[in-house]
Amino acid sequence: MIDAAPDAPPPYRTVVFDCDSTLSAIEGIDELAGARRAEIAALTERAMAGESKLEDVYGLRLARLRPSRDAIEALGRQYAARAVPEARELCAALTALGKRVVIVSGGIRAAVLALARSFAIDERDVFAVEIFHDAAGAYTGFDERSPLATHDGKRALVERLAAESECDPRVPGARGLGVVCVGDGMTDLVGARAARRFVAYGGVVRRESVFALARSQSAAPTFAALLPLLVDADELATLRTLPDHRRLLAVFDSLDPRGS
């Protein structure tokens, strides 16, 4: 049985986002599936809802699809084009506050990196699964040792990020301690055990099994709604003094008449 997710309030030093159905409004593996989309999507949904373990379907999906290098490059472009509204702006605001912004995903690293670049997220802060191709670009396999291809593989990585958050030289001015995780799936919730808070995001797909265990949650179709879950009042006030974030705050204020 999985316990309720941790839920300590901000401020935090590190913010971890999932990619598929969180930063981007697509499930990458489903987009690669073509005519087999219904079959692959059913396997994906069972894993994300916690009805089966990710490791039971991860290699199976790839073996059936055998995505080429070109297909994965196209997927990276799709990730960026289908970014959730205000996701880029929120990541920029968190960075401006001195936070470390990290992507932790069971997706394909080359495609997730394309999204990260469009978000100006440091490549060193992108964790996903390597896919291998031959010289002609044909699929030859994936990194079967990657913990991110397993149900609870995000947990050890979040533990490491939590330890690094105490002394990360790249974010010397960040307020707060520890990590907050944002994601849509059961693998995200399980991985957040070492975090201070887990935020269930259902703006793309609301998974009731995940929402039932998350005390912090948002089903809004915009990432602006996540602001009060990720920053405290002082940090929000700081953002209001920075002109680069006016659009994000305008969307946030339109969702919350109190403006906080």
Q: Indicate the domain borders of the chain.
A: 14-255
Given this model, what pLDDT does residue 59 score? 87
pLDDT of residue 174 exceeding 80? no
The terminus-to-terminus CA distance of the chain in angstroms comes to 35
Q: How confident is the model at residue 259 (pLDDT cuts 50, 70, 90)?
A: very low
Average pLDDT over residues 51-61: 84
pTM: 0.91
- In this prediction, residue 151 has a pLDDT band, given cuts at 50, 70 and 90, of confident
The beta strand positions in 52-175, using DSSP E, are 100-108, 126-129, 131-133, 139-142
Q: Report residue 218's pLDDT band, with 50, 70 and 90 as the boundaries.
A: very high
Please name every residue paired with 15 in a beta bridge, in sequence order, or none if there are none.
101, 180
Average pLDDT of 88-97? Answer: 97
Q: Is residue 44 over pLDDT 90?
A: no
Is residue 115 a contact partner of residue 127, using CB atoms and an 8 Å limit? no
What's the fold here for domain 14-255?
Rossmann fold (3.40.50)
pLDDT in tens, 110-124: 999 999 999 999 999
Asked if pLDDT for residue 65 goes beyond 60, the answer is yes
CA–CA separation, 156 vs 147, rounded Å?
A: 8
Say what the pLDDT of residue 116 is: 98
Distance of CA 69 to the CA centre of its chain: 23
Q: Would you call 137 helix, strand, or coil by DSSP? A: coil
Taking the C-alpha atoms of 240, 93, 206 and 6 in order, what is their torsion angle to the nearest 10 degrees? -90
- For all residues of the chain together, what is the average pLDDT? 91
CB-based contacts of 51, cutoff 8 Å, min separation 6: 209
Angle at 184 between CA 97 and CA 44, to 5 degrees: 140
- Angle at CA 28, nearest 5°, toward 31 and 190? 140
Instruction: Determine contact, residues 68/137, Cβ cutoff 8 Å.
Output: yes
